[in-house]
Amino acid sequence: MKEILKLLLAFAPWFAFWFIAGHSMLRLQIAVFVAAALVVVMAVTRLHRGAILWAGYLFFSFALVFVVWLKNGWVIQHLGILATGTLFVSAQLSILLGRPFTEDYAREHVPEALWSSAPFIRGSFTTTAAWSSVFLVNTILNVVKFSNHEIPEWKITLAEYAMIGIGIAFTNIYSGLARKKRAAMQDAV
């Protein structure tokens, strides 16, 4: 349960942005300010790190300029696609650079002696790939939301939240199985 809360905390700026932003410019601006402030606070307190931290810096700095200051209509219309797309690209980059973003969070729950082990590294890549898939599906859902007005927006939003729930469930189950496997191997020795 503690791992799930830490994972949710890592995405706190994004959740704040999604929950606060509404159908008014004021709510959208407040959401951008709150999320940007959370990114900075979480970075300073070291609750936030790695690719997701940099994605937050990049996206919310961009949103402060183009949404709050310039009130750019194109950016505002495409903000959902840009937000989830930023998360997808950051997850993919972390994989391509050989530093999957979930590794930083997994290290908090795994003894340092195991950080360079093949199962730990493979697990970090696996969970990051799973989250990358969640972000990709949510980006596609945002494209559908933008381009297909026949599907009610609430259904697409519900599907986005379901995908995040699937990512959380997968991470929790996968981590639990990895812990059990590691414990069984230690008991066998």
Instruction: Extract the tokens encoding 39.
Output: 């990114």
Instruction: Extract the tokens encoding 28.
Output: 């959208």
Is the pLDDT at 188 greater than 80? The verdict is no
DSSP 68-122: IIS--HHHHHTHHHHHHHHHHHHHHHHHHTT--THHHHHGGGS-GGGTTSHHHHH
Higher pLDDT, 181 or 76: 76
Residue 32 to residue 5: CA distance in whole angstroms: 23
The predicted-structure confidence for 162-185, as pLDDT tens digits, reads as follows 999 999 999 999 999 998 988 888
The predicted-structure confidence for 115-165, as pLDDT tens digits, reads as follows 999 999 999 999 999 999 999 999 999 999 999 889 999 999 999 999 999
Is 123 within 8 Å of 106 (Cβ atoms)? yes
Cβ–Cβ contacts within 10 Å for residue 5, how many?
9
Confidence of residue 10 (pLDDT cuts 50, 70, 90): confident
The predicted-structure confidence for 21-38, as pLDDT tens digits, reads as follows 988 999 999 999 999 999
